Structure 1
Amino acid sequence: MHNDDHNEGQHAVTRRHVVSGSLGLTAALAAGAVGATGTAPAGKRPVPVAGTFLWGTASSAHQIEGNNVNSDFWLAETVKPTLFREPSGDACDSYHRYEEDAALAAGLGFNAHRFGIEWARIEPEPGRFSEAELDHYVRVLESCHKHGLAPMVTLSHWTVPRWFAARGGFENAESPAQFERFAKKVAERLGPLMSAATTFNECNIGRLAQFLFHLDTPEAKAGVKAMLDACAKASGSDRFANVLLGDLAKSEANMVEAHRRAVAALKAGPGDFPVGLTISMQAIEGVGDSNKASAVADLLYGPWLDAAKVCDFVGVQTYTRIRVGTEGPLPPPDGAEKTGAGYEFYPQAVGNTVRFAAERIGKPIYVTENGIATDDDTRRVAYIDGALNALQKAKADGIDIRGYFHWSLLDNFEWTAGYSQKFGLVAVDRKTFVRTPKPSARHLGGIAKQRRSL
């Protein structure tokens, strides 16, 4: 491990519950994945060149890699009491099976791959970086290039190192400098292989969770406090903060500053790739006169729409809509179909959110997550078709959409819901880890193969 700790003093629920320029060419050339003519070396598939629409799937490190023992979520899953239905355990064993997953995605027809790197693995103790783990992620990126997948890398997909959470997480005033230090190390080792990067996944998830799931009620506060107190005790600390369940009044300004510093660190290179931010954007639809849709939008996004303006692109992550009346959010209409995650089946929502992002942020757009939890794969196919139809209409109207990443390639660990929700295009046997593509995988992959754009 490499120790940078001497610098530190100087800077002293579930996901669904709760560029200028396209990607690929510069990073591929830097990595040696394609030659100057755009032809791939023997045995390699060319990474998509500039101007190519990106078709891919999205994932997060903690949800697929397995045994992420140094992370805050691993501890929260295993203490008592816990809000988690079950621990993540081996997840999909993608830490060892990343080559298989890249080959699977490419074989289905995708040309891009969005995934996370795990801060808790790379910096398991403050200022001590694991060269072995950095080498591991180099191999993951090289595998993407080998299979012709433009890699879009997420620095933090909700999880943080256990030591970071035990110091107060992003509630700690030192957190922006600590995240910046991590971003610099990532750029130094992985930058030349990256086609794009994002700082935070769903940076506004804490706002969404509080709004939709009433985390300010006495019962919710008691449950969260009991779990985080147990985590603090297990860490030998008097505090333990979590991105999903933390105190926004203490953490959000630090997260915005951490994002700003990380963007600058990534842009400083090495490597030459666009940097973005992904935001949870559910379609907010006002119902009736004097509805509160505008106020709800302000509440859900806070400072993050402005924070995204320092980026090269914005990642829009949409699953459903939120109907808002004169008193606040409304339930789905009577008889509305519900997904396995309990929200309304409403694939056309993504057409509204990309328009909103274009208007409010003014940057190129990648749909970095979109999908459905269901045990009925025919409904996943219907959802995909409805979402792509809405995106086609938005693109025809001039919205600058550069790519579509479906959530998710694999059925994976879905936070407090455990393995009960199936978002994957590919089923994963929980004991053997055998991957079995569903009809929806071949459906979306076939679309990706046939289309250069939406």
Structure 2
Amino acid sequence: ELGEGGFRDDKTRSYFWARHVAYCAETFGDLVAGWQPLHQPTAYASDAFLNGVHPPGAQHPAKFAETLRGMVFAWRDAWRELRGGPPVATALNLAPIFSIDNSPVAEQYARDADAVIWKVWMRALRDGVLTIPGLPEIEIPELRDSCDMVGFSYESAIGVTRQGKFVSYPNNLRRTALGIAPWVEGLSLVLHRLSEELPDRPLLITGLGIGTDDDAWRCDYLQECFEAVEEAINDGIDIRGIFHQTGIDQYEWLGGYETPFGLFTRDREPRASAEVFAEYAKKR
């Protein structure tokens, strides 16, 4: 809702965003191992214009669609600037999606959610087609194969109620303070679906972890996730790496400083989970 229009305004986006990406490429290109130009673009749009938890705190489906459209075009613009240099990876927020009670209404809401969370980006990257519910379909051939790696972050599966509300799934699992239910099988489902939707594309896990002060739980969860990753690799899925969310405790979008995600505290003290992550990295 900036005066210039932000990502929803084509002129503003193509001017400011493209210049920003070009500046970063020129300034930091020899210092980075790769690029993730947009972090969770679908979440960015939905939290601003559907859930109302981020500025401008609105619930406006039309503006959500326009913002998501702008984010896809911003991805294309970033790819134009960055391709041919260090590898470029998406950082999508992906999750398996289920209807909670299998009612027709909940199942339709789940399909609608899948169309936004999955279909928008899968069709863009695979077919060069922009398909956003509520907007005309657009062919953009340049979007096809517009990344070196398909990256995604994973927190939990999504359950959709008959009221259209999102909840963590399954509902019988332990939850974090933010209400998130870490579910390793969901990670496996995302990896296998990506390998089916975008075959022969290398994958990158750009965010994996849980927000909790129970580091023993974090250690167990990471070990189970690593086992799931190894099983996926044995199934022939090309997984290039894993980023933990996050290395050091930080200010979390919804939980502030009270929700530690890091392998290290803000005082740079390593947790036991840091050793778990390091040991797996050494084996790979």
The alignment's TM-score, normalised by the length of structure 2, stands at 0.79
CA displacement at 1:181 relative to structure 2: 1.5
CA displacement at 1:312 relative to structure 2: 1.2
SS class of match (1:315): strand
CA distance in 2 between partners of 1:189 and 1:223 (Å): 31
For residue 133 of structure 1, what is the aligned residue in structure 2? none
For residue 437 of structure 1, what is the aligned residue in structure 2? 270
* CA shift in 2, pair 1:253/1:337, >3 Å: same
Contact conserved, 2:51 with 2:57, CA < 8 A, in 1? no
Determine which of 295, 318, 322 is the counterpart of 2:154.
318
Determine which of 23, 27, 33 is the counterpart of 1:185.
23
Contact conserved, 2:48 with 2:64, CA < 8 A, in 1? no
Are 1:385 and 2:201 matched, yes or no? Answer: no
Determine which of 210, 235, 249 is the counterpart of 1:372.
210
* CA shift in 2, pair 1:351/1:331, >3 Å: closer
Q: Please, what is the CA RMSD of the aligned residues?
A: 2.9
Contact conserved, 1:340 with 1:375, CA < 8 A, in 2? no
Determine which of 258, 280, 284 is the counterpart of 1:447.
280
Contact conserved, 1:316 with 1:353, CA < 8 A, in 2? no
SS class of match (2:116): helix
Are 1:260 and 2:76 matched, yes or no? Answer: yes
SS class of match (1:317): strand
Contact conserved, 2:211 with 2:260, CA < 8 A, in 1? yes
What are the equivalent positions in structure 2 for 1:116-127 lying under 5 Å apart?
none
Letter of the 1:370 counterpart: L
For residue 7 of structure 2, what is the aligned residue in structure 1? 170
Deviations 1:247-287 (A, max 9, x none): 3233222222221121111125xxx3221211001222356
What residue ranges of structure 1 are gaps of 5+ in the alignment?
1-163, 226-244, 429-433
Are 1:341 and 2:178 matched, yes or no? Answer: yes
For residue 238 of structure 1, what is the aligned residue in structure 2? none
CA displacement at 1:223 relative to structure 2: 8.0
Contact conserved, 2:41 with 2:68, CA < 8 A, in 1? no
Contact conserved, 2:48 with 2:54, CA < 8 A, in 1? no
Contact conserved, 2:46 with 2:64, CA < 8 A, in 1? no
Are 1:202 and 2:40 matched, yes or no? Answer: yes
Letter of the 1:441 counterpart: A
CA displacement at 1:325 relative to structure 2: 6.4
CA distance in 1 between partners of 2:41 and 2:204 (Å): 16
What residue ranges of structure 2 are gaps of 5+ in the alignment?
126-144
Decide which structure has the larger Cα Rg and report it: 1
Determine which of 340, 353, 357 is the counterpart of 2:190.
353
Aligned length: 256
Contact conserved, 2:90 with 2:147, CA < 8 A, in 1? yes
For residue 280 of structure 1, what is the aligned residue in structure 2? 93
CA distance in 2 between partners of 1:364 and 1:357 (Å): 10
CA distance in 1 between partners of 2:82 and 2:55 (Å): 39
Letter of the 1:440 counterpart: S
SS class of match (1:209): helix
Are 1:298 and 2:115 matched, yes or no? Answer: yes
Deviations 1:60-98 (A, max 9, x none): xxxxxxxxxxxxxxxxxxxxxxxxxxxxxxxxxxxxxxx
Deviations 1:122-147 (A, max 9, x none): xxxxxxxxxxxxxxxxxxxxxxxxxx
Letter of the 2:173 counterpart: A
What are the equivalent positions in structure 2 for 1:387-402 lying under 5 Å apart?
387-402=225-240
CA displacement at 1:176 relative to structure 2: 2.2
CA distance in 1 between partners of 2:161 and 2:74 (Å): 35
* CA shift in 2, pair 1:376/1:221, >3 Å: closer
Higher relative contact order (CA 8 A, sep 6+): 1
CA distance in 1 between partners of 2:172 and 2:150 (Å): 34
CA distance in 2 between partners of 1:436 and 1:246 (Å): 45
* CA shift in 2, pair 1:221/1:194, >3 Å: closer
Are 1:427 and 2:265 matched, yes or no? Answer: yes
* CA shift in 2, pair 1:332/1:223, >3 Å: same
% identity of equivalent residues: 27
SS class of match (1:312): coil
For residue 160 of structure 1, what is the aligned residue in structure 2? none
SS class of match (1:275): coil
CA distance in 2 between partners of 1:335 and 1:165 (Å): 42
